[in-house]
Amino acid sequence: MTVAVRFAPSPTGLLHVGNARVAIVNWLFAKHHGGYFILRIDDTDAERSRGEYVDAIREDLRWLGLEWDRRVHQSQRLERYAEAAERLRAAERLYPCYETPEELEAKRKRQLGRGLPPVYDRAALRLTAADRRKLEAEGRRPHWRFLLDHEDVRWEDAVRGTCHYHGSHLSDPVLIRGDGTPLYTLPSVVDDIELKISHVIRGEDHVTNTAAQIQLFRALGAEPPVFAHLPLLTDAGGQGLSKRLGSLSLRDLRAQGIEPLALDSLLAKLGTSDAIDVRTSLDQLVDEFDLGKLGRATPKFDPAELEHLNARLLHALPFDEAAPRLAALGIEGEDAPRFWEAVRGNLGRLAEAADWWRVCATPMRPVIEDAGFLAEAAALLPPEPWDEGTWAVWTGAVKAATGRKGKDLFHPLRLALTAREHGPELKLLLPLIGRRRASARLTGATA
Ligand code: GLU
């Protein structure tokens, strides 16, 4: 069997980490099995869909490194859905309904009031042709429901195991709106059939849709694909992410300086039996991927964990890979490789390197804690050339001359040389700062 999967966002907003997880799991599964990854834009809701969100989806997926083999837009496939609806009508599986949203809501309330499940009562099936003509003469346009078989629907979910729903416990889903446009349920199945989707991997908020969609596949003469429903992410406290999703959009995370591979690594492993750790290539994640490692437990998305992976990735990032991005920050020239080795271990974000570059390569006002001590230390600076060993030689001489040691010795030197309390090892920074600047800073001058 050829593996083909799809990621099917609705372009009604920005992608967030929850969507990204579904996208990554689909992509890794496809790549692991040498299959296809299709980007399906679910834009049948013309009112809420926006071109700018389609652009954002493409940009975000590319940022994550998830190229697609094919892209389809549901809005360009409307005749196919109309044709499928025709076939369902001919098979008497699609029936017109005339209730207004208010009437449906009133029915629901009555059912709930009587302790009954709020399942659509199929009243429209009892309308005669004359009833329908009368309703249409009043100006009502029908919406169309799929007539479910009242039988058990079962499937082996690749994540949830055996699932079953009885058709009678579900409302006949509305497939076509009053204005003639299709709702999500039908186009999704039509496309899954036509694009030969082998596995539908999506969030567990779609589990009940699956029961109806399995019947729809069969009504359209196709075998349903394998389904896999992923539990939805929660925040670190176990709450749904929906309220915080604004701050967890991929666009924001990108703007905050999160590395795509840090996010890929986290989302590929969350909720699996593998330990969460950073990977330096998507290929590695592809090799390790196995749908069978995904469990039913609710995975927690913890931004602190993402920060941690981001830092680990930067700490191991080779200069060659960082170079173009460093150049964009103005960090280039012969000192750049040594500079990167010196500072990467201290970074939480790549952009923070710019601050350390300023410390090493641009004039800066020192912080002077003890002018007399610092002047003495300045006088002991060895002549250049300097290397990583210079720091130990110099501070050894300062210690011998002043009797200071430990924090008393090092802290004033760090403040004078960098104007910062903490930072990369001074033995690495000192040669980058150079003798002229170091000497001037130690004596209180901006240099
Ligand atoms: N557009 C649907 C969603 O975003 C797709 C669901 C599916 O994968 O079938 O929830």
pLDDT tens digit sequence for 46-55: 999 999 999 9
Rounded distance from Cα 203 to ligand 1 centre (Å): 8
Among 202, 227, 232, 242, say which to mutate for ligand 1: greatest number of ligand atoms within 8 Å of CB.
202
Contacts of 102 (CB under 8 A, 6+ apart): none
pLDDT band at 239 (very low <50, low <70, confident <90, very high): confident
Contacts of 400 (CB under 8 A, 6+ apart): none
CATH number of 371-442: 1.10.10.350
Q: Which helix (H) or strand (E) holds 230?
A: strand 226-230
**Mean pLDDT of the 167-184 span:** 96
Rounded distance from Cα 238 to ligand 1 centre (Å): 23
User: What single-letter amino acid sits at 257?
Assistant: G
Q: What are the start and end residues of each CATH 3.40.50.620 domain in the chain?
A: 1-72+185-316
Residue 247 pLDDT: 64
Cis peptide before 383 (omega within 30 of 0): no
Rounded distance from Cα 237 to ligand 1 centre (Å): 26
Statement: residue 335 has pLDDT above 80: yes
Residue 1 pLDDT: 85
Residue of 47, 37, 48, 45 lying closest to 72 (CA atoms): 37
Residue 377 pLDDT: 98
Rounded distance from Cα 371 to ligand 1 centre (Å): 66
Hunting for tokens 């579904």 — which residue is that?
A: 22
Q: How far apart are CA 23 and CA 11, in angstroms?
A: 14
Among 16, 188, 189, 226, say which to mutate for ligand 1: greatest number of ligand atoms within 8 Å of CB.
188
Statement: residue 235 has pLDDT above 90: no
**Mean pLDDT of the 182-208 span:** 97
- Contact status, residue 247 vs residue 268, Cβ threshold 8 Å: no
Hunting for tokens 């899954």 — which residue is that?
A: 192
Q: What are the start and end residues of each CATH 3.90.800.10 domain in the chain?
A: 80-176
The protein residue whose alpha carbon is closest to atom 10 in ligand 1 is 9
| Of the listed ranges 10-19, 186-195, 241-250, the one predicted with least confidence | 241-250
Mean pLDDT of the chain: 96
Residue 237 pLDDT: 82
pLDDT band at 248 (very low <50, low <70, confident <90, very high): confident
The protein residue whose alpha carbon is closest to atom 6 in ligand 1 is 8
**From the alpha carbon of 201, which atom of ligand 1 is closest?**
8
Residue 2 pLDDT: 96
Residue of 308, 326, 332, 322 lying closest to 258 (CA atoms): 308
pLDDT band at 303 (very low <50, low <70, confident <90, very high): very high
Task: For the domain made up of 1-72+185-316, give the CATH fold.
Answer: Rossmann fold (3.40.50)
Statement: residue 169 has pLDDT above 90: yes
Superfamily of structural domain 80-176: Glutamyl-tRNA Synthetase; Domain 3 (3.90.800.10)
Statement: residue 250 has pLDDT above 70: yes
pLDDT band at 244 (very low <50, low <70, confident <90, very high): low
Q: What share of the chain is helix, strand, coil (3-state, %, to 5)?
A: 50, 15, 35
Rounded distance from Cα 63 to ligand 1 centre (Å): 21
**From the alpha carbon of 209, which atom of ligand 1 is closest?**
9
Q: Is 0.95 topped by the overall pTM?
A: no
pLDDT digits (tens, 9 = 90+) for 148-165: 999 999 999 999 999 999
Tokens standing for residue 288: 């390790």
DSSP-derived 3-state class of residue 157: strand
Statement: residue 433 has pLDDT above 70: yes
Proportion of the chain above pLDDT 70, given as a percent: 99
Q: How many helices and strands, by DSSP H and E, does the chain display?
A: 19, 12
Q: What are the start and end residues of each CATH 1.10.10.350 domain in the chain?
A: 371-442
Tell how far CA 69 is from the center of its chain. 19
What residues are in contact with ligand 1 under a 6 Å CB criterion?
Answer: 8-10, 42, 184, 188, 202, 206
CA distances from 221 to 149, 175, 198, 232 (A): 15, 17, 16, 31
Among 10, 53, 189, 214, say which to mutate for ligand 1: greatest number of ligand atoms within 8 Å of CB.
10
For 186-209, give the DSSP string: HHHHHHHHHTT--EEEEEGGGHHH
Residue 381 pLDDT: 98
